[in-house]
Amino acid sequence: GAVVSQHPSRVICKSGTSVKIECRSLDFQATTMFWYRQFPKQSLMLMATSNEGSKATYEQGVEKDKFLINHASLTLSTLTVTSAHPEDSSFYICSAEGSGNTIYFGEGSWLTVV
Amino acid sequence: DAKTTQPTSMDCAEGRAANLPCNHSTISGNEYVYWYRQIHSQGPQYIIHGLKNNETNEMASLIITEDRKSSTLILPHATLRDTAVYYCIVRVATGANNLFFGTGTRLTVIP
């Protein structure tokens, strides 16, 4: 199967600062990647669809100016949480479509805002 | 919105087959059935998918009813490491279509 990798796996940041999470497709190219957020004991919620070379598409209720997404290459998408607050603390997961039209997920990134 | 219905939780004895059901009565003709699982604090792991024929791989088997309104994921010999939340998802397998996650089934494998 295809491999999707996220970095960092865990990050702690101070309230008001920004933090960047990277999502890479290691052995395939992905024109589209997806970003999800998951709160404890809840299911994954799609935040946005990241498109290489164009603007991301955000789901309703997700602030595009707060969650900046950049998909500058066919193997890398980044999610930047700007002016982070404690309520942004969550598990952030990316995914990309690999061979056979199958979507593969990264390991996830735990964000804690203190 | 998720188009599938799954039991909230299930238990299975270690070494036994785990049979996880999923209802998708409104599935469209071009939608596949995908199964993923999520072990605590990790990203979802792809298990298997199918359109209408039964499928088998090294992880599991997928049995889809003839009318495609339901399916069953079978883990033939469950181990403790199979304890996870299992998600059944229907998705059109063309174009940049994402996955909508429901609540899934929390499978607990008991020693």
Model confidence pLDDT, tens digit, residues B55-64: 999 999 999 9
- The token duo for B20 is 């996880």
Tens-place pLDDT, residues A54-112: 889 999 999 999 999 999 899 999 999 999 999 999 999 999 988 777 889 999 999 99
Instruction: Please report how many Cα atoms fall inside a 13 Å half-sphere around the Cα of residue B45, on the Cβ side.
Output: 15
Looking up tokens 């998720």 gives B2
Return the amino acid letter for A112.
Answer: T
Question: Are the C-beta atoms of residues A43 and A65 closer than 8 Å to each other?
Answer: no
How far is it, in rounded angstroms, from Cα B104 to Cα A42? 10
Residues of chain B in contact with residue A31, where contact means CB-CB under 8 angstroms, are: 96
Q: Residue B43 is nearest to which of A51, A102, A108, comparing CB atoms?
A: A108
Q: How confident is the model at residue B99 (pLDDT cuts 50, 70, 90)?
A: confident
Q: What is the mean pLDDT of residues B9-28?
A: 96
- Between the alpha carbon of residue B10 and those of residues B20, B78, B80, B86, the distances in Å are 8, 12, 13, 10
How far is it, in rounded angstroms, from Cα A44 to Cα B102? 8
Q: What is the mean pLDDT of residues B6-28?
A: 96
How far is it, in rounded angstroms, from Cα A7 to Cα A21? 6
Is the pLDDT reported for residue B68 higher than 90?
yes
Return the amino acid letter for A71.
Answer: H
Is the pLDDT reported for residue B40 higher than 90?
no
Average pLDDT, chain B: 93
* Pairing, β A76-81 against β A67-73: antiparallel
Q: What is the mean pLDDT of residues B87-97?
A: 81
Tens-place pLDDT, residues A15-58: 999 999 999 999 889 888 999 999 998 999 999 999 888 889 99
Q: Residue B96 is nearest to which of A1, A6, A49, comparing CB atoms?
A: A49
Collapsing DSSP states into helix, strand and coil, what is residue B78?
A: coil
Least confident of A51-60, A96-105, B21-30, B80-89: A96-105
Q: Do A107 and B42 touch (CB under 8 A)?
A: yes
